Amino acid sequence: MAEHSLPILVVEDDPSLREAIGDTLELAGRPYVAVDGGEAALAALGEQAFSIVVSDVRMMPMDGITLLKEIRARLPHLPVVLMTAYAEVDKAVDAMRSGACDFLLKPFEPKALLAHINKYELPDTDDGGGVVAIDPASRDLFAIAQRVAQTDATVLLTGESGVGKEVVARFIHRQSARRDGPFVAINCAAIPDSLLEATLFGYEKGAFTGAQQAQAGKFEQAQEGTLLLDEVTEMPMGLQAKLLRVLQEREVERVGGKKPVALNIRIVATSNRDMAEAVAKGVFREDLFYRLNVFPVAIPPLRERPLDIVPIARYFLVEHGGRFGRSGVGFGAQAEQSLLSHAWPGNVRELENVIQRALILSTGPEIGVEHLRLAPTASGDLPRVSASEKPVLESDKRLDNMKDIEREHILRTLAEVGGSRKLAIERLGISERTLRYKLQQYRDEGFFKD
């Protein structure tokens, strides 16, 4: 994607000035959309993403100040530059108070217009990290992420499972001054309690049975970079106290060690739970919550950013199509409509799984509705495959075979004990936390329903 791929929205009811601004932008190689008033501008903002809005103040029936306030209510972080005459400076002051980035006094030189646009417009999110942000809600999200990335503030990303919290965390890292440092992620729900402390903080030789040599933990591995604490609310209470101390002191002490190691890292934490509720229930420390909640960012579910659905699906189609040897495969029109109509309870993760399965099931150049298999399955059921499709699934293209076997074993055991998680834990020989984590994964992937 080009450095400036998002268009500029120009709002001007004077045809001559609108054309002149368009000529300036076209000569500068900048894509733009020009509309003749506030209502048309709001309609355009609902249909596609823009890097910045440049609007006149004096328009009828909706003036620029009213338009600005509407934009602020819908897209709080979208930059708006207003054009105004010298005699309307009082309106310009009102505009600044209402959230305008700046204003241009008429008449202005083309270079002044371009300078304002270059100064304030939103960055392009396509930085090579798989970010797809077409919907206005996503553009707003990444504008916030871009701003906080310029600081070293601790970020708390919240949202439903599968919304793409790690994608946002990696975007923040790449946009920060620490981009050349490491990005280290640890899923606090996926590691057994007995190993989590040593994994996080590291250990010295002989600290415990099996510790035959010293090992740096995730905190030390993230020096000069970013550490992602994924699903931090799943961390045991005892370990939360130790984490709080590390965050407060900015130093870590290995298990079995006596010498603290100073840290220079950026912390990003995520959770798919209501953290305030977790604090109220006593399963998460209140002081740790406030230590992590320096800059909270809520990531909307996929169903609330519908303009992203098909572009993200196309991205996965290219990414996994190449990996499966299926480059050049596309979606049929009905398949894309089916994607848009689905509720996506598992969010982006569910969408990615659907695309991978569709690539396996389809044999031609086009993915149809029948390959998406979006109809909900019964509780505990796995997707059913017809006899004609079995050779494809049983080929060497089948994904993560060991994970498939593990999933089938866990779900079959759960079914055999009538859904009792207590009995399932006893039979499987795993902890309650591990079972809860696995079932959440299967739920997100569409394999399991409560």
Mean pLDDT computed over 348-363 = 92
The reported pLDDT for the residue numbered 95 is 65
Query: Same structural domain for residues 328 and 290?
Result: no
What is the rounded CA–CA span in Å between residue 113 and residue 129?
31
> Could you list the residue range(s) of the whole structural domain that residue 436 is in?
303-444
Query: Same structural domain for residues 107 and 29?
Result: yes
Q: Is the pLDDT of residue 194 over 50?
A: yes
> Would residue 127 count as lying in a domain?
no
The mean pLDDT of the chain is 84
Mean pLDDT computed over 343-369 = 92
Residue 427 banded pLDDT, cuts 50, 70, 90: confident
Burial of 242 (0-12, 13-18, 19+ CB in 10 A): middle
Residue 393 banded pLDDT, cuts 50, 70, 90: very low
The reported pLDDT for the residue numbered 248 is 94
Rounded (10°) CA dihedral 423, 428, 433, 434: -150
The reported pLDDT for the residue numbered 129 is 67
Q: Is the pLDDT of residue 226 over 90?
A: yes
Mean pLDDT computed over 84-106 = 72
Query: Same structural domain for residues 70 and 213?
Result: no
Name the residue with tokens 């009538």.
Answer: 418
pLDDT digits (tens, 9 = 90+) for 123-135: 666 555 678 887 8
Which residues are paired to 83 by β-bridges? 56, 104
Query: Same structural domain for residues 144 and 109?
Result: no
Mean pLDDT computed over 362-389 = 64
Query: Same structural domain for residues 53 and 187?
Result: no
> Would residue 52 count as lying in a domain?
yes
CATH code for the domain in which residue 35 is found:
3.40.50.2300
Helix, strand, or coil (residue 187)? strand
Q: What percent of the chain has pLDDT over 70?
A: 87
> Would residue 340 count as lying in a domain?
yes
> Would residue 440 count as lying in a domain?
yes
Q: Taken in order 135, 130, 395, 428, is the CA torsion positive or negative?
A: negative
Among 120, 147, 167, the domain-final residue is 120
Q: How far is CA 352 from the centre of its chain?
A: 14
The reported pLDDT for the residue numbered 324 is 84
The reported pLDDT for the residue numbered 410 is 86
pLDDT digits (tens, 9 = 90+) for 328-343: 889 998 999 999 999 9
Query: Same structural domain for residues 182 and 243?
Result: yes
What is the rounded CA–CA span in Å between residue 437 and residue 431?
10
Q: Which two tokens stand for residue 82?
A: 């207003």
Mean pLDDT computed over 235-252 = 93
Q: Is the pLDDT of residue 2 over 70?
A: no
The reported pLDDT for the residue numbered 225 is 97
CATH code for the domain in which residue 341 is found:
1.10.8.60
Give the range among 1-10, 171-180, 201-210 with minimum mean pLDDT: 1-10
pLDDT digits (tens, 9 = 90+) for 395-415: 333 354 556 767 877 888 888
Q: Is the pLDDT of residue 383 over 50?
A: no
Q: Is the pLDDT of residue 431 over 80?
A: no
What is the rounded CA–CA span in Å between residue 366 and residue 344?
22
Query: Same structural domain for residues 171 and 157?
Result: yes
**Does the reported pTM lie above 0.75?**
no
Query: Same structural domain for residues 317 and 387?
Result: yes
Which residues are paired to 54 by β-bridges? 10, 81
Query: Which residue did the predictor score with more confidence, 102 or 21?
Result: 21
pLDDT digits (tens, 9 = 90+) for 281-331: 999 999 999 999 999 999 999 999 998 999 899 889 988 988 888 888 899
Query: Same structural domain for residues 169 and 279?
Result: yes
> Would residue 128 count as lying in a domain?
no
Query: Same structural domain for residues 190 and 279?
Result: yes
The reported pLDDT for the residue numbered 331 is 92
Burial of 325 (0-12, 13-18, 19+ CB in 10 A): exposed
Q: Is the pLDDT of residue 47 over 60?
A: yes
The reported pLDDT for the residue numbered 375 is 58
Residue 89 banded pLDDT, cuts 50, 70, 90: low
Among 94, 120, 146, the domain-final residue is 120
> Would residue 129 count as lying in a domain?
no
Residue 442 banded pLDDT, cuts 50, 70, 90: confident
Mean pLDDT computed over 202-217 = 82
The reported pLDDT for the residue numbered 338 is 93
Among 269, 300, 331, the domain-final residue is 300
Q: Is the pLDDT of residue 438 over 60?
A: yes
Give the range among 191-195, 245-249, 273-277 with minimum mean pLDDT: 191-195
Query: Same structural domain for residues 250 and 362?
Result: no
Q: Number of folded domains in the chain?
A: 3
Burial of 275 (0-12, 13-18, 19+ CB in 10 A): buried
The reported pLDDT for the residue numbered 396 is 37
Q: Is the pLDDT of residue 171 over 80?
A: yes
The reported pLDDT for the residue numbered 395 is 34
The reported pLDDT for the residue numbered 297 is 95
The reported pLDDT for the residue numbered 218 is 95
CA distances from 66 to 39, 57, 63, 251 (A): 10, 9, 6, 50
The reported pLDDT for the residue numbered 394 is 35
> Would residue 450 count as lying in a domain?
no
CATH code for the domain in which residue 171 is found:
3.40.50.300
Query: Which residue did the predictor score with more confidence, 86 or 43?
Result: 43
Q: Which long-range contacts (CB under 8 A, 24 or more apart) does 142-146 make?
A: 142/168, 142/171, 143/77, 143/78, 144/77, 144/297, 145/171, 145/172, 145/175, 145/297, 146/122, 146/175
Query: Same structural domain for residues 353 and 238?
Result: no
Q: Which two tokens stand for residue 381?
A: 């059921």
Cβ contact 4:30 at 8 Å: yes
> Would residue 3 count as lying in a domain?
no
